[in-house]
């Protein structure tokens, strides 16, 4: 499981959405609509797809703030990458490069690059396993 995303990791548009509907609903919107414009109706009925996705209260709050507009839902790729890298670094103490690569769907080379950026020396890390 990935660590929680920090609101400061998000781009400004995602922060604005999160201020209205919360971080959880924003994460769901990003997963479903990231990278596209989303039309938000002025009024939300209980059977609207947004209600099914994020719940009635959050959908109504979104309509109250953005109703009648098309909002850009960011992909948040950089934020998600930072969260993934923090989780990978946390797992580095107990997992090998191949295990980390499989868990996070990366190459071992990418794992080594993330370690280098975090100041983790692969040789030191591997030596501590023995």
Q: Measured between alpha carbons, how far is 119 from 102 in angstroms, rounded to an integer?
A: 21
How do the pLDDT tens digits run along the chain, 130 residues long?
445 678 888 999 999 999 999 999 999 999 999 999 999 999 999 999 999 999 999 999 999 999 999 999 999 999 999 999 999 999 999 999 999 999 999 999 999 999 999 998 876 555 455 4
Pair of tokens at residue 56: 């009635």
Say what the pTM is: 0.77
Q: 72 - beta bridge partners?
A: 37
H or E stretch covering 69: strand 69-73
Any residues with CB less than 8 A from the CB of 126 and at least 6 apart, and which?
96
The answer to whether 98 touches 24, Cβ cutoff 8 Å, is no
């Amino acid at each position: 499981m990935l660590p929680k995303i920090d609101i400061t990791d998000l781009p400004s548009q995602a922060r604005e959405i999160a201020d209205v509907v919360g971080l959880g609903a924003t994460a769901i919107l990003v997963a479903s609509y990231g990278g596209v414009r989303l039309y938000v109706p002025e009024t939300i009925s209980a059977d609207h797809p947004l209600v099914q996705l994020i719940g009635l209260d959050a959908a109504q709050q979104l309509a109250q703030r953005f109703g009648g507009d098309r909002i850009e839902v960011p992909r948040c790729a950089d934020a998600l990458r930072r969260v993934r890298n923090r989780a990978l670094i946390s797992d580095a103490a107990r997992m090998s490069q191949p295990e980390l690569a499989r868990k996070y769907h990366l190459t071992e080379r990418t794992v080594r690059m993330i370690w280098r950026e975090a100041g983790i020396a692969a040789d030191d890390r591997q030596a501590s396993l023995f």
